[in-house]
Structure 1
Amino acid sequence: MAFRITTAVGAFALMTLSAISAFSAGDPLAAVPAARTDTTTIIVGSANFPESQLLATIYAKALAAKGIAVDTKLNIGSREVYIPALLDGSIDLLPEYAGAALSYLDKNAAAHSPEDVAKALKAALPTGISILTPSTAQDSDSVAVTRATAEKYKLKTIADLAPVASEFVLGGSPEWKARKEGVIGLKEIYGLEFRSFKALDVGGPLTLSALVNGQIQAANLFSTDPAMAANDLIALEDTKNLFPAQNIVPVIATQKLSDVVAKTLNAVSAALTTHDLVLMNGRLANHESFDVVAGDWLAQYQLN
């Protein structure tokens, strides 16, 4: 079994430079042929936050257990970077969040249910890219506030922010400012204009700390983050369906698909639950390694 974990550093940045340039020119689906000679190894990529890196590690270890040659390029960056990397052949497989991927590929997508989002995402994928069976596990975006803020302003839904948004600083990842399922959607769908937006990280410690310490009053955090309960934070109800279903789904270069690959990844999706993600994210927060947490989960479901 060939299995090796690496990080996405300078060499990988050079590999994806042409793809990033294509995206910057305005076409997120523009693909540039990659100078890659290895056609057998499946390179598994991930976004730049721990849950994505963990899921990529689970995929890689599950495939390696079936004798498939795999390599990983973790912590690549945001969707604006890793989708071009998938398209230019720098990576072959990654864990995606169905609703966010759909919104990226189709700016006018209106699907919200898991079934509709999966169907629309399959149709929106560029030639040469496939999705496998989505998991029931979801990691959904949320607009979160502290319990003290929720009680002071009687906040239960995102819409309840309307009278006070102009007094609030909203925090989230830099990309969230320009995304439909972010600041743009909060304005277009809910009519919310915040006092300012503070660019932090992808639902990580910077965003959490800023919210808990009062530097921001609302934040983009995620449903599988154990810090939500640990810090008594409130996810405001999304009554107008700004955030589509975010089922986790393997996205793969079609040429790398085989019966064994599909069966292996679909078995991972079938076993994975939202509760599993909460527990595993909690272990990562306690500084356990991706390797150990992924290996334990695979052993739990006899997938290794």
Structure 2
Amino acid sequence: MNRINKKLFSSSVILMSLILILAACGSSKDTAGANSGKEITMGSKNFTENILVAEMMAQLIEAKTDIKVNRKLNLGGSNVVWTALKNNEIQLYPDYTGTVVANYYQEKTGTAEETLERAKELVKQDKLVFLDPLGFNNTYTLAVTKSTAEKYNLKTYSDLAKVSPDLVLGVEFEFLDRDDGYPGVQKLYNMNFKTAKGMDHGIMYQAIKGGETDVTNAYSTDAQIKANDLVILEDDKQFFPPYYAAPIIRQDTLDQYPEIADVLKTMNDSITEEDMQDLNGKVDIEGLKEDQVAHDFLVEKGLIES
């Protein structure tokens, strides 16, 4: 190798070494969060809204901390996710004040404020923390088609109870068994439907639209209420408690990663019932993906960058 070629070779080696060093530095910076060793698992229940809110929480934590968020979304009904949290299979997920108080601990609810404070106090016995609400109240309700409402002159649950023996009820599986679901409504209002069917949340609206059922349970934030032109009946004896959504997290996880509470606090009171109806509609009616809808909403609210 002559002197010129040796110089060119040496220069090339030096240049390649510099490139590799710079690339390594950049790679180390880019993967700092991924290699931080900080890791949690986010869970959710098996319906669109809960998946959406869980995805929002996960994306916010990922954007504002160096914690890696694994996802176990769409796990199942309330009791399934609740058990997963207590068993440390997941470390946090979104739940509802009325569900915590009435379903998990079988205690009486009160006003929105009373139910929230009771939820916060009750979960401490299981070494959990119920954080502040996200803004919307997703209470249960009963709905019928306009034709059914007009035929039987239905405005309230008491009106419905009178004609319930002539009607078919189609509700979520867990609503059939929960104390704050059909058994409680049935007892308070003396409702006795001709048939009570359990089904998946998405199927309920197809069933009532197709005439297979006459009455369905619904969430007040469901987009399908408006899309299917359903009539919400008045809970005139105020059976259903408030169901304000909020993150629930294990105390040991919060002790390890206290920054999570600060990050999730930025979501406090950021979502209205109308927002949630719109977000649910983007997934259930327009067919968009939950992660994209969650991302767009967080960007719109200025909680993360696009």
Letter in 2 for 1:161: L
How big is the shift at 1:127? 2.6
| 8 Å contact from structure 1 (residues 57, 290) kept in 2 | yes
The equivalent of 1:195 in structure 2 is 194
| 8 Å contact from structure 2 (residues 138, 245) kept in 1 | yes
**CA gap 1:104/1:40 in 2 versus in 1, 3 angstroms:** farther
Matched ranges for 1:250-289 at <5 A: 250-257=247-254, 258-285=257-284, 286-289=286-289
Q: What is the distance in 1 between the residues matched to 2:38 and 2:64?
A: 14
Q: Does 1:55 align with 2:53?
A: yes
Letter in 1 for 2:96: Y
The equivalent of 1:302 in structure 2 is 302
Match of 1:103, SS state, is helix
How big is each residue's C-alpha offset from its partner over 1:200-257, in whole Å with a ceiling of 9 and x where there is no partner?
113x2x1001111211110011111121112110111112121110110100001122
The structure carrying a bigger helix percent of its residues is 2
| 8 Å contact from structure 2 (residues 170, 213) kept in 1 | yes
Q: What is the distance in 2 between the residues matched to 1:256 and 1:187?
A: 40
Q: Which has the larger radius of gyration?
A: 2
- The TM-score, its normalising length taken from structure 2, stands at 0.83
Match of 2:80, SS state, is helix
How big is the shift at 1:130? 0.6
The equivalent of 1:163 in structure 2 is 162
The equivalent of 2:40 in structure 1 is 42
- The TM-score, its normalising length taken from structure 1, stands at 0.84
How big is the shift at 1:88? 0.5
Q: What is the distance in 2 between the residues matched to 1:235 and 1:172?
A: 15
The count of aligned residue pairs is 267
Q: What is the distance in 2 between the residues matched to 1:152 and 1:271?
A: 40
The equivalent of 2:149 in structure 1 is 150
| 8 Å contact from structure 2 (residues 38, 68) kept in 1 | yes
How big is each residue's C-alpha offset from its partner over 1:136-192, in whole Å with a ceiling of 9 and x where there is no partner?
212121110001111111111111112211111111111111112222112211111
Q: Which structure 2 segments of 5+ residues have no match?
A: 1-30
Q: What is the distance in 2 between the residues matched to 1:101 and 1:39?
A: 32
Match of 1:164, SS state, is helix
Q: What is the distance in 2 between the residues matched to 1:260 and 1:266?
A: 10
Q: 2:216 aligns with which of 214, 219, 223?
A: 219
Match of 1:181, SS state, is coil
Match of 1:110, SS state, is coil
Which runs of 4 or more aligned residues in structure 1 lie more than 4 Å from their structure 2 counterparts after TM superposition? none
Letter in 2 for 1:264: V
How big is the shift at 1:112? 3.3
Q: What is the distance in 2 between the residues matched to 1:78 and 1:44?
A: 15
| 8 Å contact from structure 2 (residues 168, 196) kept in 1 | yes
Letter in 2 for 1:275: E
How big is each residue's C-alpha offset from its partner over 1:229-288, in whole Å with a ceiling of 9 and x where there is no partner?
121101111121211101101000011224421121121133122111111111102111
**CA gap 1:120/1:39 in 2 versus in 1, 3 angstroms:** farther
For the aligned residue pairs, the C-alpha RMSD in angstroms reads 1.7
Matched ranges for 1:94-109 at <5 A: 94-107=93-106, 109=107
Question: Which range moves more in the overlay, 216-225 or 109-118?
Answer: 109-118
The equivalent of 1:209 in structure 2 is 206
Q: Does 1:238 align with 2:218?
A: no
| 8 Å contact from structure 2 (residues 170, 215) kept in 1 | yes
The equivalent of 1:16 in structure 2 is none
Match of 2:126, SS state, is coil
**CA gap 1:113/1:53 in 2 versus in 1, 3 angstroms:** same
Letter in 2 for 1:221: A
The equivalent of 1:290 in structure 2 is 290
